[in-house]
Amino acid sequence: MQIINARLRHQSALHTLEISNGLFASITEQNMELDAQGKQLDAGGKLLCAPFVEPHIHLDAALTAGEPSWNRSGTLFEGIERWGERKPLLNEADIRRRVLQTVELLVQNGVQHIRTHADISDPSLVGLKTLCDIRDELKERIEIQVVAFPQDGLLSFPNGLALMEQALEYGADVVGGIPHFEYTRELGEKSMKTVIELALKYDRLVDVHCDEIDDPNSRFLEVLACEALFNDLGPRVTASHTTAMHSYDNAYCSKLFRLLKNSGINFISCPTESIHLQGRFDSYPKRRGLTRVKELNEAGINVCFGEDSIFDPWYSLGNGKLLRTLDFGLHICQMMGYQEFSQALDLITDNSARTLNIQHHYGIEVGKPGSFILLDGEDDYSVLRNQGEVLLSVRRGEVIMHREPARVTTANWIDR
């Protein structure tokens, strides 16, 4: 496959790219003597970039909002309660139908890599097993990582630890945790040490729902980061949400950032979810409840955005469009400067790939898999400003999604 007239990120010249045997064989500035006989794909000056990465979503819970009842308070904790009512109704066919529908929605919006959480607070582990099976079945078409996520606690839920080990033995890629939901601070801290021990024992990645609460005293992040540092695991460890950091005082945060930077751990923020679930116990002023994305980014700490939910007990909107998540995130985190706009796509592409530890086979580089998306825009800024659609998604040289841009005609109602 040869792609002509492609615009690459942060480069003004148009480029020609060749994909051979599923890999990028060459990437060169536009050559006027193009071989018109070859099989060419004309990018038409649009932005060609690495595929979107969804680093944090709960596919097992997707498309269940309102079943059997709605989350009326809008809190994280009522979400967990409502999900607890839905859980007994889970079976493989139900999960499979919803997961495939949601994955297709993500693919239609340019996603080629997904990290999904699977609730293992369920003795049958049906969600975890179904997600691992679907991951294996779809591996030629999309890359999925499955996190064994102890929704009701790793150490507080009966047999939580045994279920985690069963999930890892079944093939979960990532060890999860939820320290702020354990019964006590001691159990929360112990769970962070246990998560790191399990990652070492089973040679897996780590992604913890960490301090997803407005409580400024929820400080499990420092335990996770310290354990990651001392065990030399930093880049393989991710702290998701860390919304309590929004409420930490600045003096503590200043001290904390030294550890975070030294540890090399990754961060995922889910802006639409957190702005919705956090601040629910405030009157006014109401906290935004997002982690300090702008400050983490400026400190050189890896941070990215995810959706978290699509129509589930925690969040009843969501449409698979990471550009929408990015738009929300930049607004809420006040990352609205020109420089931030011009690098905005990092937050849903390169940074997310680093979080998933897939950077060795991700990106627009010769020798890497010939996978990319084509966006309706010329650069990060214009794609963001116009919410440019994903026009094309190519995986290892094969087109997996193609979209015809909408044509809109306006009657000539203004004299120009």
Residues making contact with Fe ion (CB under 5 A):
308
Question: Could you tell me the smallest distance in angstroms from the CB atom of residue 385 to Fe ion?
Answer: 29
Name the residue among 286, 287, 294 with its Cα closest to residue 269. 294
* Closer CB to Fe ion, 173 or 308, in the complex: 308
Complete DSSP assignment for 128-191: HHHHHHHHHHTTTT-EEEEEEE-TT-SSSSTTHHHHHHHHHHHT-SEEEE-GGGSSSHHHHHHH
Is 85 among the residues known to form the active site?
Answer: no
CA angle (188, 200, 218) in 5-degree steps: 20
Question: Could you tell me the smallest distance in angstroms from the CB atom of residue 240 to Fe ion?
Answer: 6
Question: Could you tell me the smallest distance in angstroms from the CB atom of residue 96 to Fe ion?
Answer: 21
- Considering the candidates 78, 189, 212, 227, report the single residue annotated as catalytic: 212
Question: Could you tell me the smallest distance in angstroms from the CB atom of residue 314 to Fe ion?
Answer: 8
Are the CB atoms for 406 and 388 separated by under 8 Å?
Answer: no
Residue nearest to Fe ion (CB): 308
224 in the Ramachandran plot: left (φ > 0), alpha (ψ -120 to 50) or beta? alpha
DSSP label at residue 44:
T
DSSP label at residue 21:
T
CA atoms within 13 A on the CB side of 22: 7
Are the CB atoms for 389 and 403 separated by under 8 Å?
Answer: yes
Q: How far apart are CA 73 and CA 78, in angstroms?
A: 7
User: Which tokens belong to 114?
Assistant: 């997904």
* Closer CB to Fe ion, 54 or 308, in the complex: 308
Please report which residue ranges of 20-75 form alpha helices under DSSP H. Answer: none
* Closer CB to Fe ion, 356 or 364, in the complex: 356
Question: Could you tell me the smallest distance in angstroms from the CB atom of residue 209 to Fe ion?
Answer: 5
Which residues are designated catalytic?
A: 212
